[in-house]
Each structure stands twice: as C-alpha cells, then as structure tokens.
Amino acid sequence: MAKYFDVHPENPQRRTITTVAESIRSGSLVAYPTDSCYALGCQLGSRDGISRIRTIRNLDDRHHFTLMCQNFAQLGQFVQIDNDVFRAIKAATPGQYTFILPATKEVPRQLLHPKKKTVGVRIPDHAVVQALLEELGEPLLSSTLLLPDEEEPMTQGWEIKERLDHEVDAVLDSGDCGTEPTTVIDFSSGELEIVRRGAGDPSRFE
C-alpha cells in the first residue's frame, strides 16, 4: 500500500519532505504535485522506477521522460544549451514548460530517446516540488500522471492513492494542481518546434 502524505501547498512541512526524499533515494516511486498536473517521480538512475512508470502509463521507449530540476544551474548539467536557447528558456522558467534538448553524459542512457539522444527538462513553479528537489539535491525523473486511455490526469491526491495504491510507494498531496500538462518545446533539432500546447503560454515561442 502507498503511504499518503498531506502537505501544505505553499509551506510544505519540512519533516514530510525529508521523509519522502529519503524514500525516493531508497528506490520508491512517488506521485507528487507540480504547477502543471500530478506527476510520477523516482530517483534519476532507478531502472526499477523507470520500468514501473512505463508499466503504469503504458509507454514505449520513444517516450521523453522529464528531469524535474530545481533551478537553471542544475538543468544545465544535464542538457546542452547554446546561447540563444539559453536566453529563451531562462526567460520562461520557472514555469509550466518542458524543453526537449540534447542530453549530456550525465543523463542515464535508459532515459534518452533512442534515436535522438534527447531528454525533457523543466523547472517547476510549485513550492512542494521545489522543496522536494532542494532536499534531494538532484533532478527527479518524472512523467505526467496520465493513465492509459484517459484524456485527463487525475487532480486529487486521495484519488491517486485509491487508484494506484499498489503501484506507487507514496502519494504527496497538496490539493488540486490542474489537469493541463506543460507546453512542450523541442529545441533539439536546431529549430524550435512546439510539440504540445499546454499550460504554459506558447505565444512567447512563436
């Protein structure tokens, strides 16, 4: 059964955040809130976590996982960014955007798109996940919590606990965080492509 943690959306309890971070380091798969839907998250190099996310969401190996990063300095360790792209991403973060970029050697191979060698990265504007990332000291490997054959993600922590009680190890609940996923911008080919229009305003990239 999944452990259930109720946290304040703006001032998350430090003890709870520490407990959840320790469980992630120990190999747990958690459901947690972001500024754009709930997400599934595990430690960066967790093969088991990756496999479990793929199973829950019925994903193939072309799916772009996302590295949820605390800040721009951390993001820069895991993706290659030229000056023009740097400025564009910097102006839009933190926020409801995911950026697809060429990965550095810091990214575990199993996370990369098999042909493009790219990975998704984002910096969320949400107090709970920011506190969790600060405690972890590294990105959280993530994927939107959208179940197969469903059009919208679940928005309530108690519902996630009920539905995925035997598939995740912990649920971090800070209330409703919306159903609209991030806007996805692909910079990997040298030309900007808006892959998905979502919660972040895409007009700044058009």
First to last CA, the chain: 45
Q: How confident is the model at residue 30, as a pLDDT? A: 98
Sort 140 into a burial class: Cβ within 10 Å, 0-12 / 13-18 / 19+. buried
Segment holding 183, helix H or strand E: strand 183-186
Q: How confident is the model at residue 92, as a pLDDT? A: 94
Sign of CA dihedral 148, 36, 169, 142: positive
Q: Kindly give the parts of the chain with pLDDT less than 50.
A: none
Q: Which residue has the tokens 């996923």?
A: 181
**Angle between helical axes of 127-136 and 14-25 (0-180°, round to 10):** 50
Q: d(Cα 38, Cα 159) in Å, to the nearest integer?
A: 11
Q: How confident is the model at residue 155, as a pLDDT? A: 85
Fold of 3-200: DHBP synthase (3.90.870)
Instruction: Determine the residue type at 183.
Output: T
Asked whether 105 and 11 are in contact (CB, 8 A), the reply is no
